[in-house]
Amino acid sequence: MSDYAPPIADMRFAATKLAGFSEIAAMSADDLNEELLASIFEEGGKFAAGVLAPLNRVGDRQGSKLVNGAVKTPDGWRDAYQRFVEGGWNAVPFDPEFGGQGLPWLVATALFDLWHSSNMAFALCPMLTQAAVEAVSKYGSPDQKAAYLSKMISGEWTGTMQLTEPQAGSDLARIRAKAVREGDHYRITGQKIFITYGDHDLTDNTIHMVLARTPDAPEGVKGISLFIVPKFLVKEDGTPGARNDVRCVSIEEKMGIHASPTAVMQYGEDGGAIGYLVGEENKGLAYMFTMMNNARLSVGLEGVAICERAYQKAASFARERIQSRDIAGDDPDPVAIIRHPDVRRMLMTMRSLAQAGRALAYYAAGKLDIAHRAGDAAVREAAQSRVDLLIPIVKAWCTENGSEAAWNGVQVHGGMGFIEETGAAQFMRDAKIAEIYEGSNGIQANDLIGRKVSRDGAVEAKKMIAEMREIDAALADSGETIAGLRANLAKSIDALERATDWLLAQYKNDVRNAAAGAMPYIRLWGVTLGGWLMARSTLAAQAALAAGESDAAFLRDKIVTANFFGERILPRAAAYEAETTAGAASLMAIADAAM
């Protein structure tokens, strides 16, 4: 039996009340409406709970294994993947010309909320394929699109992103994989590490998106090119042919996501793998960022998903675990621990972080759709600027929340949480990688202060801050039940604006001072945006109650959860501001050798 209950009501609420679904649907297919959205979510929820969730512990215990040079995934994995493809789930957001369904990224994002929550290790495979499809769709030649897209969009073939090398982690300027031109293709040699689903037994072919250097390429990131390297070369009839010269030589033993094969890939043991240049030489990093930005949104969603799953498990345990009497009562008999205030504090923290993170991820996905679909170029440009600002925040803040929630989930279980049999520890182990994937959260923070705030003089950041301030007047008439949310949100926005002004000045004068505050600054953004969206949730829930919408209990709980966030989570903003503006002196004062 699955212990996962898809949060369909909250998904629908976030999509329709907060993320602009109606506006996006108007830009999309004529038959896209809230009823169809509800049906998609319901069917997705059934697949997640009935097929993927029961395999989550199986995958954790068995892991993927390298057997005779090939990767074997856990029991049930291949069948689940085939059902995933047959259900059309892989094709949701892609171009109908190549077999996609053409639905908005908002819908695809919400579905990945389900996939990651029910089975994060499984969901990583279609997540990476999705990123590869985006790169080929945007930068591939007509022949490359014809050869690869339809099968990648259907999920019949999967895709990977291959950046990292042993000497080049996040510093892509140090990439040394070589690509030598040979007629209409290139020969690729070198090694890539930490490649998610670099090899597996789920499909007949895998299309690797590989960064490498040509012989005369300039040094640094300006000399990187992007290549399509199929596991099996594709014959003229579109079927897999000869095996290419690329092999998985080992898979990593990891802390978590054991079922996801993290591969070391070797190119060129027999003359070099055949690869096909995507776009122009030396522009590969720019092309790869198309994949990375979408992947960063998806990784942020992993944090949301783990929040949800850890919360559900902890709440279920807390309702059943009988221990200690009620501190506020006279009855000496023990009660379920869900009655104890500190357990409630942990559960409500997990619940509110999941809902605020979901709202933020869906809001970003909605802006991504507008950037792609709006008829007015100025509207598209404005939406893309908002997406660019939000992506590092979604990735960093939501993944940290996933780790915090999973940690609290173990704590709620007490000693049982430390025992693997309960399953609570798996979420903690699985969650951590999301803080590292697709550029660690520290890199996201540096990206935020450098490229997204300082580069344009905080123009987009100030627009977002001004937009958040507009909610104060609307909240004034919302009653005393959310007084804490309103007051602390105003304080958080003030703190964010002051910190932004301080960082702008420091970035010009002493960049180390700005970099020293980058991580608390991105947290300040996350908690303030979360508070703003929880405030919007309150207004939407109150309006729905006044209109007599059916699920009154759910709507009232939304308001309570939002106010908890305002009272208990938003006050973190003051500490984040203080840490952001503390400067670098105490960080840099001790000699390297003394650390």
Across the range 539-557, mean pLDDT stands at 94
Strands 206-212 and 158-162 turn out to be parallel
Q: What is the pLDDT of residues 16-71, one digit of tens each?
A: 999 999 999 999 877 899 999 999 999 999 999 999 999 999 999 999 999 999 99
What is the pLDDT of the chain when averaged over all its residues? 95
Residue 75: predicted pLDDT: 98
CA distance 307 to 462: 30
Find the range with the poorest average confidence among 42-56, 289-303, 406-420.
Answer: 289-303
Q: What is the pLDDT of residues 171-185, one digit of tens each?
A: 788 899 999 999 999
CA distance 207 to 234: 10
Q: Taking a C-beta distance cutoff of 8 angstroms, is the pair 19, 363 a contact?
A: yes
Nearest to 50 by CA among 84, 2, 87: 2
The DSSP H or E segment spanning 443 is helix 441-447
Q: What is the pLDDT of residues 440-450, one digit of tens each?
A: 999 999 999 99
pLDDT at 198 over 50: yes
Strands 246-251 and 262-267 turn out to be antiparallel
Nearest to 293 by CA among 163, 395, 396, 400: 395
**Phi, psi at 261, each rounded to 5°:** -75, 115
Residue 234: predicted pLDDT: 96
Nearest to 275 by CA among 197, 132, 178, 192: 178
Find the range with the poorest average confidence among 71-75, 125-129, 484-488.
Answer: 484-488
Q: Would you list the domain boundaries of the chain? A: 159-282, 441-588
pLDDT at 157 over 70: yes
Chain centroid, CA 542 distance in Å: 30
Residues tagged active-site: 438
Helices (H) and strands (E) in the chain, counts: 21, 14
Find the range with the poorest average confidence among 53-57, 124-128, 517-521, 587-591.
Answer: 587-591
Nearest to 21 by CA among 45, 6, 37, 41: 37
Residue 289: predicted pLDDT: 80
Residue 329: predicted pLDDT: 82
Confidence of residue 170 (pLDDT cuts 50, 70, 90): confident
Q: Which residue has the higher pLDDT, 360 or 326?
A: 360
CA distance 450 to 511: 9
For residue 330, what are its two tokens?
Answer: 């006279």
**Per-residue DSSP letters for 320-362?**
H-EEEE-TTSS--SEEEGGGSHHHHHHHHHHHHHHHHHHHHHH
pLDDT at 2 over 70: no
For residue 160, what are its two tokens?
Answer: 């990977």
Residue 1: predicted pLDDT: 35
Confidence of residue 569 (pLDDT cuts 50, 70, 90): very high
Residue 505: count other Cβ atoms within 10 Å of its Cβ: 11
Across the range 365-382, mean pLDDT stands at 96
159-282: CATH architecture? Beta Barrel (2.40)
pLDDT at 479 over 80: no
Residue 474: predicted pLDDT: 85
Confidence of residue 294 (pLDDT cuts 50, 70, 90): confident
CA distance 452 to 504: 11
Confidence of residue 277 (pLDDT cuts 50, 70, 90): very high
Find the range with the poorest average confidence among 27-36, 142-151, 521-530.
Answer: 27-36
**Per-residue DSSP letters for 141-196?**
-HHHIIIIIHHHHHTSSEEEEE--BTTBSS-GGG---EEEEETTEEEEEEEEEEEE
Nearest to 542 by CA among 485, 499, 502, 496: 485
